[in-house]
Amino acid sequence: NKQGEIVHTWASDYIQGLGLLLLETGDLLRTTLSYNNPVFSAGGATGGVELFNWNGTKLWNYTYSNTQHCLHHSIDMLPNGHILMVGWEYKTAEEAIVAGRNPDTLPVGELWPDHVIEVERTGPSQGSIVWEWHVWDHLIQDFDSTKQNYGIVGQHPELIDINYGAIIGKERADWNLINSIDYNEQFDQILLSARHQHEIWVIDHSTTTEEAAGHTGGRSGKGGDLLYRYGNPEIYRAGNISDRQLFGQHDAQWIVEGCPGEDHILLFNNGQGRPDGQYSSVDELIPPVDENGSYYLEPGSAYGP
C-alpha cells in the first residue's frame, strides 16, 4: 500500500518476468521466465504468462517459447479477456538479406524482429492465437534495389526501415526490442514502444490477421502499417539525429479516462544518448489525433505531439 506495507503476496514456481498487471478483478497477470530458450537469450526474455486469482490459485498459464519465437517484456489484457503479448521471431541472415538488410550488419547470422499476438484462453494451460501483427510485414529499405520492398524511405513513414539500427545489429540480433504494449479501446489501437528505434508506434487492432499483414483494411484503411510514430524522425527521413526526442524509452501508455491528461501518451524516456547529457524524464505527449483515431502528418515533415 502507499505506506510501504506488504498487504498481499502470490507464490509461483517461476521467476518474475518484466510484464505484470494487477487487474480490477484482483487477479494477477504476470509474465514468467519459464523456459530456457536455446535461441532467444536477451534482456527482457520471458517465454510464459500466468494468471492468478486474488487467493493465489493459478487460473491459467501459457508458454510461447521455442526456436522460432519467444515472448519478451510486456503484456496487456483486452476488454474481452484476451491477452496481447510481444515476442521475437527468428529470421536467418538469408531471410534478412532477401528483405533488404545490409549483410554487413548481420555478423551474428540472424535477426529477431518483433511481433504481437492476441491469445484467447482455451484451457488451463492452453491458448489460441486469434490475431497477430508482424514488423516483418511492414518493411522498406533503400539499400538494395533488387528487393521487393525497395523504395524511397522518406515517402513511406508508415513502414519501418530494415536497415535502421545497424549498430545495434553488430552487437545482437534483437533489432526492435518492443518493451511495452498498451491498448486503446476507444480507437481499437495498440501502442508499442520500440526501444532500439527510439520510437513509439501506433497500429490498428481492428484488422483481421490477414489485413494486419498488409497495407489495407481495418478501421484505418491502412491494414497493419504504422498509423503514428514519434521520437526519431531520422528513421523515416523526416529529420536528423538532432531531431530525436526519445532515447531508449520504456512503458509507453495512454493515460486512462478520468485521470489528468486522459488520452495523452505517457512514457519513461530513459535518456541514453541525449545530446545535452544523459538524464531520464517522464514525458507526456498530446498525439495529433482526431475523434476518429486518425493521426495528422504535415506532408514532408515529421509526426509531432
- 169: pLDDT strictly greater than 60: no
Output phi, psi for 272, to 5 deg: -70, 120
Q: Which residue has 526519445 as its cell numbers? A: 246
| Mean pLDDT in residue range 189-205 | 97
CB 215 within 8 A of CB 227: no
| Residue predicted with more confidence, 230 or 278 | 230
Compute the CA torsion angle 275, 281, 286, 292 (nearest 10 deg). Answer: 100
HSE-up of 156 (CA within 13 Å, CB side)?
Answer: 17
**In the prediction, which pLDDT does 300 show?**
86
| Mean pLDDT in residue range 18-39 | 90
The DSSP code for 211 is H
Cα end-to-end span (Å), the chain: 34
CB 282 within 8 A of CB 212: no
Cell of 74: 510486456
Q: What does the pLDDT look like over 105-158, one tens digit per residue?
A: 888 899 999 999 999 999 999 999 999 999 999 999 999 999 999 999 999 999
| Mean pLDDT in residue range 265-294 | 96
244-255 in b/e burial notation, b at 16+ Cβ within 10 A?
bbbbbbbbbbbe
Burial class (CB in 10 A: 0-12, 13-18, 19+), 213: middle
- 49: pLDDT strictly greater than 80: yes
Q: Which residue has 524511397 as its cell numbers? A: 152
- Closest by CA position to 114, among listed 189, 43, 192: 192
Q: Using CA atoms, how far apart are residues 23 and 21, in angstroms rounded to an integer?
A: 6
Q: What does the pLDDT look like over 66-110, one tens digit per residue?
A: 999 999 999 999 999 999 999 999 999 999 999 999 999 888 899
Looking at this protein, which amino acid is placed at residue 123?
G
Q: Percentage of the chain with pLDDT > 90?
A: 89
| Mean pLDDT in residue range 28-44 | 88
Q: E strands of the chain, at which residues?
A: 15-22, 28-33, 47-52, 58-63, 69-77, 83-89, 91-92, 110-111, 114-123, 126-134, 139-140, 160-161, 178-184, 189-194, 199-204, 228-230, 250-254, 265-269, 281-285
- 170: pLDDT strictly greater than 60: no
- Closest by CA position to 168, among listed 127, 147, 196: 196
Cell of 289: 489525433
Q: Which residue has 494468471 as its cell numbers? A: 51
Q: Percentage of the chain with pLDDT > 70?
A: 97
Q: Name which of 56-65, 89-98, 161-170 the model is least confident about.
A: 161-170
Q: Whole-number mean pLDDT of the chain?
A: 95
CA-CA distances (angstroms) from residue 272 to 40, 194, 250, 268, 276? 24, 14, 12, 12, 11
**What is the pTM (predicted TM-score) of this model?**
0.96
- 167: pLDDT strictly greater than 80: no
What is the side-by-side order of every strand in the sheet holding 250-254? 250-254, 265-269, 281-285
CB 295 within 8 A of CB 289: yes
